[in-house]
Amino acid sequence: MDFEFSDNLKNVKSSEIRDLLKYIHLSDMISFGGGLPNPETFPSQEIKNILDDIIDNYASSALQYGQTDGLAYLKNELKNYLLKDENININPDNMMITTGSQQALYALTKIFANPNDYVITEAPTYVGMISSLNANSVRAVSVNMDNHGMITDDLENKLKMLKSMGIKPKFIYTIPTFQNPAGYTMDLDRRKHLLEIAYDYNIPVIEDNPYGDLRYSGNKLPTLKSLDANDIVTYLGTFSKVMAPGLRTGFTLSQPEVIHRFNMLKQSLDLASDSLSQYIAYEYLKRGIIYEQVPKTIELYKRKRDIMLESLDDNMENAEWSRPDGGMFLWVKLNKNIDSSKMLKRAIENKVAYVTGSAFYYNNPEKNTMRLNFTYSKDDDIKEGIKRLAKTINEEMKNY
């Protein structure tokens, strides 16, 4: 039969990044697309030991349905970890365990915003947030960024203008630290300014912090959540970048009334997150393996970041790029005549892949941009891939 479908997905496009995963396996292809942590950082042996103990000691719980809001043991360990690691003092009642942070982006959008409502995002912003907005028919106003993160003066101007139009955005979404895709980090003054503005306009803030633990240079900055005196910040964390992404375990910290709504919605989204993966995360924190693993990950990723930056410095013309203090990505701006989307075919012919920057804009994309991941590729492949990319850009420039 020919099916008739709802209008709900009319704005939803398949993520170019997810689609790119198919290229990553082609032989000889060097892909800076995707957002994959490096499997070398996976604590496989430790997870094997943990798994053996979990099955021996708690198989009947670890293989059973769990509570929708998550494993209480894990929440208690997270409470301790967040206090130690981020100076966030949180009660387990203010916590949801989620099926990755992606689930939180979808759920929070639905909890806060009706169809056709507006929210604030950075430009560029995380592609998974854009897909959640589109899936919920929610619109975004984008705030510009520079090397110091979201330009909070631009935020204030846009909120003022929206207010004059009678529009109150439902939340402000930001990745303040080692932003995906741009690699920028919001400085302390702007963090404080952002909170002041949010308090003034009474708009909830969603702080997405998947990369905060992965700092390779510069000084640690306080999270918005830890600076938040008015309980306006909802904080998203994940084990994807500090343990293993395949285990799909994230967490959301917020006011109990947000957590309550999330809990109700999650009953219809997936009932509960994977129990076994939650037990792994619990043991991973409890045994303190995270404190050994993160420094190893930082060592590896710092080296790869440095290799990529050095390769860019040595090879790349007609472009500028961010110099991230952490995270997994850097952002390249090409000559303004180049459309990186159109250039991708040539890049793939040259056996190198990236994500076109336009994927990271809710609207009005800067088409001359691209995101490069520096954590996944082998060291030599980073050097070779940047050469191929430089060659691709030079070839493309001949058209102009």
Taking the complex as a whole, how short is the minimal distance between the CB of residue 282 and its own copies, in angstroms?
A: 13
332 touches 372 (CB < 8 A): yes
Helices 152-164, 188-201: inter-axial angle, 10-degree rounding: 10
Least CB distance to its own copies at residue 346 (A): 26
- Least CB distance to its own copies at residue 362 (A): 13
User: DSSP string covering 353-368, please?
Assistant: E-EEGGGG-SSS--TT
Give the residue with the Cβ less far from its own copies, 141 or 338: 141
Terminal CA-CA length for the chain = 50
Residue 376: CB minimum distance to its own copies, A = 10
User: Which residue matches tokens 């198989």?
Assistant: 59
Rounded to 5°, angle at Cα 338 from 26 and 371: 50
Q: How does DSSP classify residue 174?
A: E
Q: How far is the CB of 212 from its own copies (least distance, A)?
A: 19
166: helix, strand or coil: coil
What are the Cα distances from residue 377, in Å, to 31, 372, 374?
7, 11, 7
In the bound complex, what is the minimum distance in angstroms from residue 55's beta carbon to its own copies? 4
In the complex, minimum distance from the CB of residue 398 to its own copies, in angstroms, rounded to a whole number: 36
Residue 68 or 152 having the CB closest to its own copies: 68
Compute φ and ψ for 368, nearest 5 degrees.
Answer: -90, 20
The token duo for 246 is 């395949």
Residue 9 vs 144, nearer CB to its own copies: 9
**Is the separation of the CB atoms in 131 and 338 below 8 Å?**
no
Q: Nearer Cβ to its own copies, position 111 or 370?
A: 111
Of 63 and 320, nearer to its own copies (C-beta) is 63
Q: Which amino acid is at 73?
A: Y
Residue 231 or residue 314: which is nearer to its own copies going by CB? 231
Give the nearest distance from C-beta 312 to its own copies in angstroms: 26
In 100-151, alpha helices (H): 100-112, 127-135
- Measured over the CA atoms of residue 142, residue 144, residue 148 and residue 151, the dihedral's sign is negative
Q: Retrieve residue 122's tokens.
A: 């950075």
- Which lies closer to its own copies via its Cβ, residue 274 or residue 366? 274
- Of residues 112 and 331, the one with the C-beta less far from its own copies: 112
